[in-house]
Structure 1
Amino acid sequence: MKHVYLMPGMAASSLIFENIKLPESDFTIHHLEWIVPQKKESLTSYVSKLAKLVIHEKPILIGVSFGGIIVQEMAKQIAVEKLILISTVKSNREFPRRIRFSKTTGLHKIFPTSLIQSFELWSKYSFGISSHKIALYKKYLSVNSSIYLDWALDVIVNWEQEDSLPGLIHIHGDEDPIFPIKYINDCIIVPGGTHIMIVNRYRWFNEHLPELISS
């Protein structure tokens, strides 16, 4: 039996995986959820807290978007059988110019995140996500703490990983507006897949994940 841990995207709940189904004879799915960090908490410290929730040896870790960054950091702390990334980046070299510009200018600190609308505004103009996609994503939001949102945006923009970890699997949509495919290398491309394809292209994942995990 393989134990699969799923980490959702920024501020989202595990509800984004509600339609992900793996054969129960071979896999057991476990959902990880966001916790509110301490102010200015290091990424390493935060990830170590989440890693304590992984109770099985050598699990399969699957992370979406910011959750993909988290599971990569987790794989630096615990032994994993497989690391699968969805709609995310493998290093800061794959960030689009908007995010690199934000790191240089501190743009992400200009927009206060005390209201979730500010997160939406920052996402729209810095990441390029459209308003109707944000509205759909809001269904799955579980964290609206300004401490978490400020921390998460800063962690993303200042992520220091320059080289991808060996042996991981990266699945990416060719219509992802947040992490455009032109910046992404060495990935499995889902035609027509957007940043929220874990939600609206779940059939693709249900068909292909079992084989990818077991390969």
Structure 2
Amino acid sequence: MSKIPVYLMPGLAASTAIFERIALPEDRFEIHLLEWEIPLENEALMDYANRIAKKIKHKNPVLIGVSFGGILVQEIARCIAVSKVIIISSVKSNLEFPRRLKIAKTTKAYKLIPMSLILNLENLAKFSFGEKVNQRLKLYKKFLSVRDIRYLNWAVEQVVLWDRTVADPDVIHIHGDMDDVFPIKYIKNCIVVKGGTHIMILNKYKWLNENLPSIILETKKETNALSQLL
């Protein structure tokens, strides 16, 4: 039996080290890690997605993306044929954005964010992972790897201006009920992880390791039923 290729995409500014605790049965799955690249000048998100998609060497892979990586894998799925898209701590359309992101888009306030200050590790940790990070700052030193100002300017703009208004019904969404970046009250049709925060890829890895194999293998109907139980 051939193994199922699973490609993992980290969140904004994060390295693939965020997946170091994710383990899928090696007899069924083959994990591949995707990394952020510095965007080209004025590169559109779809063009960027197409560029990253070229690094995927398997047909019909499973794509799993965290946070902004979840947005990106949804765009990659428009470029290539995939068997399944799973997003974690992310959104399926801009209708699931919190109010502050919608205001940022309308007022263009995101253009006023001083990216040079965000390049400071503590500020970058807060920006990428949420506010409650001070006690875990050392832990994040290895998880936040992309500190290029052009990337940050580009990434923030791509999130705020993401134009998808209709969610893909085939996307499987796993979300924590304590996510402070994308609050659960704005999220629809997801598998809810109790106590899960925006960084649950790090601290809810046991739940993910236990449940991801079946979520990958199940049909959409079975996954919907699972979301009602969890």
Residue 202 (structure 2) aligns with: 199
CA distance in 2, matches of 1:194, 1:45: 31
1:60 to 59, 62, 75: 62
Q: Is the 8 A contact 2:7 2:64 kept in 1?
A: yes
Query: What are the ranges of 5 or more consecutive residues in structure 2 without an aligned counterpart?
Result: 219-230
CA distance in 1, matches of 2:165, 2:107: 20
Q: Is the 8 A contact 1:111 1:118 kept in 2?
A: no
Q: Note closer, same or farther for the CA distance 1:58–1:112 as it changes in structure 2 (3 Å cut).
A: same
Residue 183 (structure 1) aligns with: 186
Identity value in percent? 54
Q: Is the 8 A contact 1:71 1:83 kept in 2?
A: yes
Question: In the TM superposition, what are the counterparts of 1:1-215 in structure 2 within 5 Å?
Answer: 1-115=3-117, 116-117=119-120, 120=123, 123=126, 129-132=131-134, 135=137, 136-215=139-218
Structure 1 residue runs of 4 or more that deviate by more than 4 Å after TM superposition? 121-124
Secondary structure of 1:68's partner? helix
Secondary structure of 1:30's partner? strand
Question: How many Å apart are 1:106 and its aligned residue?
Answer: 1.3
CA distance in 2, matches of 1:29, 1:58: 14
CA distance in 2, matches of 1:128, 1:43: 23
Cα RMSD for the two superposed structures = 2.0
User: Please, what TM-score do these two structures have when normalized by structure 2?
Assistant: 0.88
Question: How many Å apart are 1:40 and its aligned residue?
Answer: 1.7
Question: How many Å apart are 1:108 and its aligned residue?
Answer: 1.2
CA distance in 1, matches of 2:129, 2:16: 22
Describe the superposition over 1:49-91 as per-residue Cα deviations: whole angstroms up to 9, x where unpaired. Answer: 1000000000000000000000000001111001001000000
Secondary structure of 2:18's partner? helix
CA distance in 2, matches of 1:122, 1:206: 25
Quick one: which amino acid aligns to residue 175 of structure 2?
H
- Size of the aligned set, in residue pairs, is 214
Secondary structure of 1:61's partner? strand
Q: Is the 8 A contact 1:17 1:199 kept in 2?
A: yes
Describe the superposition over 1:89-113 as per-residue Cα deviations: whole angstroms up to 9, x where unpaired. Answer: 0000000001011111111111221
Describe the superposition over 1:31-60 as per-residue Cα deviations: whole angstroms up to 9, x where unpaired. Answer: 000000012211111111100000000000
Query: What are the ranges of 5 or more consecutive residues in structure 1 without an aligned counterpart?
Result: none
